[in-house]
Structure 1
Amino acid sequence: MDFNAKTLKKSLGQNFITDINLLKAIIQDAQITPDDNVLEIGTGAGALTKVLSEYANKVLSYEIDKSLRPVISRALSDAQNTQVVFEDFLEAKEKDIIKFIGKNYKVVANLPYYITTPIIFKLLDFAALPASITIMAQLEVGQRIVAKPASKDYGALTVGIESKYQAKIARKVKKEMFIPRPKVDSCVIHLVYRPYKIDDYDFFKRTVKSAFCARRKQLVNNLSADFDVSKDVLKDILRSINIDPSVRGEMLNTHQFIDLSAILKKHIQDK
């Protein structure tokens, strides 16, 4: 790979993949076809981008580190179907993305560990949601995404993703596969768009966030503090959907959160 490891920026969490077999495996996990348009987040040195350009119809890639421009230019010199934008993806506008790749697209990314969750939440807020999201992330994050209720890894990230996507860990990746070598192992997470019907997604998100704001507290305590609804009323709401009023938020599955947010919203509107 055409870059000097000494120039990598630790502040940006840069860990690059050099193994061509792993790069092709990620493409396979993402189920990229010649008809697919792809949004890549984190061009890095362009290794994954290069392979994506060979398999996909069109690739739009975002890279925050402008010092990598010469490396990326050399790596993608013959990738005519690829455009790289040197910008923080968290600041990117959805309309600019859609303008280049359209509304039917897939996301593939090798993400810095520290920015994985904010990027996922940004994608979940898009009006034109990607058909799939395939990301390389810290193994711990992958375990949180596929966690089950009542487990220590289960949280707002799990519920937020499951409300729109079916998630699985496609493969685990040893830390030795990266330059520089991170301290922990990684995994490839594959999300496929399978949305639940939610009438007010913003209210649903607020309900979920409130439920997990203090994990050790009962659900009624967290919701009462955020929504200005009495605990007695909240207990009645929970009983109406067959949920024990004494539970913590981590005990509810996605279906139950959807039911809870719908009834809670109706109560607030009817007050």
Structure 2
Amino acid sequence: MADLLGPSDIRTLAETLGTSPAKKWGQNFVVDAGTVRRIARIAALGSEDHVVEVGPGLGSLTLALLETGATVTAVEIDPILAEALPRTVAERASAESTRLTVLQADALIVTDLPLPPTALVANLPYNVSVPVILHLLEHFPSIERVLVMVQSEVADRLAAPPGSRTYGIPSAKAAWYGATRRAGGVGRAVFWPVPRVDSALVLIERREPPETTATRREVFAVIDAAFAQRRKGLRGALSGIAGSAAAAEAALRSVGIEPLTRGEQLDIVAFARIAEALAATDPPTSDMVEA
């Protein structure tokens, strides 16, 4: 068993390094061993897994992930923390330290890892949580499941079904990659510093995207346009990428969708059908990602 970090360990380690949680990187360190072991347990990791962890910080979750027998690649943007993490793991879990690789990098631009990852498990910085999830799912098709700790509101948006108040761009784009659900709440007291918002765990279990001739880029462009003005019917919302409202209406009717339907009513399969219809004339090119 690894010697996990507690509240006093976290503060002592930060003081030794001459650092503290940085707002610019959205750092809130987990100080509760029970929480990180709970995350590792829900992620259902084993020795065959290669986990990519984003924002490991001082190593609280990293140690719990290594304890499962998994191989871990930790991607840390903070150079001080990236340099210190291997030493911390070597001191507290020497037998597991050979299964850790640390990359000092921005996870939003990482496109190569030492091994194909099977899982993304992380306490994600709130300010980049959705872009990081979508970026890694796009570039690493080997990821079978995602278990991340995010702001509770973001968890609701990611897991929201069509027709719900919180359904939007993150929900629809996450659905392209897999089935998404909340996997439990996380109390504020397990963090240092204590955040002003609640947190939650989100689980995404990968599945094949909808069968479609449209590309992911084309489908995501339709999603972006559909939610750019939530109160608009799709005839108006899609007029920009279709070339005109009339062209948008024709595409919608060709796939059996009423022109005044709103984006929040459609699932990922419907967005893919619309993208196919639009691609037959003038393919959309936007590939925006909304946090």
TM-score between both structures, scaled by the size of structure 2: 0.85
Q: Cα deviations across residues 95-143 of structure 1 (Å, max 9, x unaligned)?
A: x31xx122x5111110110010110221232153411111000000010
Aligned to 1:246: 260
Aligned to 2:33: 20
Distance 1:69 1:41, change over 3 A: closer
Superposed displacement of residue 233, structure 1: 3.0
Aligned to 1:175: 188
Structure 2 residue aligned with 1:259, among 273, 276, 288? Answer: 273
Q: Take 1:111 and 1:184, find their aligned partners in 2: how far apart are those partners?
A: 14
- Kindly indicate whether the alpha-carbon contact (under 8 Å) linking 2:239 and 2:245 is maintained by their aligned counterparts in 1: yes
Partner SS state of residue 203, structure 1? helix
Structure 2 residue aligned with 1:197, among 211, 214, 235? Answer: 211
Aligned to 1:36: 49
Structure 1 residue aligned with 2:104, among 86, 94, 100? Answer: 86
- Kindly indicate whether the alpha-carbon contact (under 8 Å) linking 2:86 and 2:100 is maintained by their aligned counterparts in 1: no
Aligned to 2:152: 139
Unaligned runs of 5+ in 2: 1-8, 284-291
Q: Take 1:263 and 1:193, find their aligned partners in 2: how far apart are those partners?
A: 26
Unaligned runs of 5+ in 1: none
Partner SS state of residue 136, structure 2? helix
Letter in 1 for 2:129: T
* Identical positions, percent: 29
Q: Take 2:23 and 2:141, find their aligned partners in 1: how far apart are those partners?
A: 33
Q: Take 1:224 and 1:56, find their aligned partners in 2: how far apart are those partners?
A: 52
Q: Cα deviations across residues 58-114 of structure 1 (Å, max 9, x unaligned)?
A: 11111111122464233211211101111111122x2x31xx122x51111101100
- Kindly indicate whether the alpha-carbon contact (under 8 Å) linking 2:163 and 2:265 is maintained by their aligned counterparts in 1: yes
Partner SS state of residue 250, structure 1? helix
Distance 1:127 1:74, change over 3 A: closer
Greater alpha carbon shift after TM alignment, 153-162 vs 258-267:
258-267
4+ runs deviating over 4 angstroms: none
- 1:223 aligned onto 2:234: no
Q: Take 1:180 and 1:46, find their aligned partners in 2: how far apart are those partners?
A: 15
Superposed displacement of residue 226, structure 1: 2.5
Please, what is the CA RMSD of the aligned residues?
A: 1.8
Letter in 1 for 2:231: R
Superposed displacement of residue 242, structure 1: 2.5
Greater alpha carbon shift after TM alignment, 66-75 vs 251-260:
66-75
Q: Take 1:55 and 1:139, find their aligned partners in 2: how far apart are those partners?
A: 26
Letter in 1 for 2:250: D
Q: Take 2:195 and 2:66, find their aligned partners in 1: how far apart are those partners?
A: 27
Letter in 2 for 1:149: P
Pairs aligned (count)? 263
Superposed displacement of residue 56, structure 1: 3.2
- Kindly indicate whether the alpha-carbon contact (under 8 Å) linking 2:21 and 2:29 is maintained by their aligned counterparts in 1: no
Q: Take 1:12 and 1:153, find their aligned partners in 2: how far apart are those partners?
A: 26
Distance 1:127 1:137, change over 3 A: closer
Q: Take 1:62 and 1:106, find their aligned partners in 2: how far apart are those partners?
A: 13
Aligned to 2:14: 4
Q: Take 2:140 and 2:78, find their aligned partners in 1: how far apart are those partners?
A: 27
TM-score between both structures, scaled by the size of structure 1: 0.91
- Kindly indicate whether the alpha-carbon contact (under 8 Å) linking 2:212 and 2:273 is maintained by their aligned counterparts in 1: no
Superposed displacement of residue 39, structure 1: 0.8
Aligned to 2:227: 212
Aligned to 1:153: 166
- Kindly indicate whether the alpha-carbon contact (under 8 Å) linking 1:168 and 1:191 is maintained by their aligned counterparts in 2: yes
Aligned to 1:166: 179
Q: Take 1:129 and 1:70, find their aligned partners in 2: how far apart are those partners?
A: 27
- Kindly indicate whether the alpha-carbon contact (under 8 Å) linking 1:50 and 1:75 is maintained by their aligned counterparts in 2: no
Letter in 1 for 2:254: S
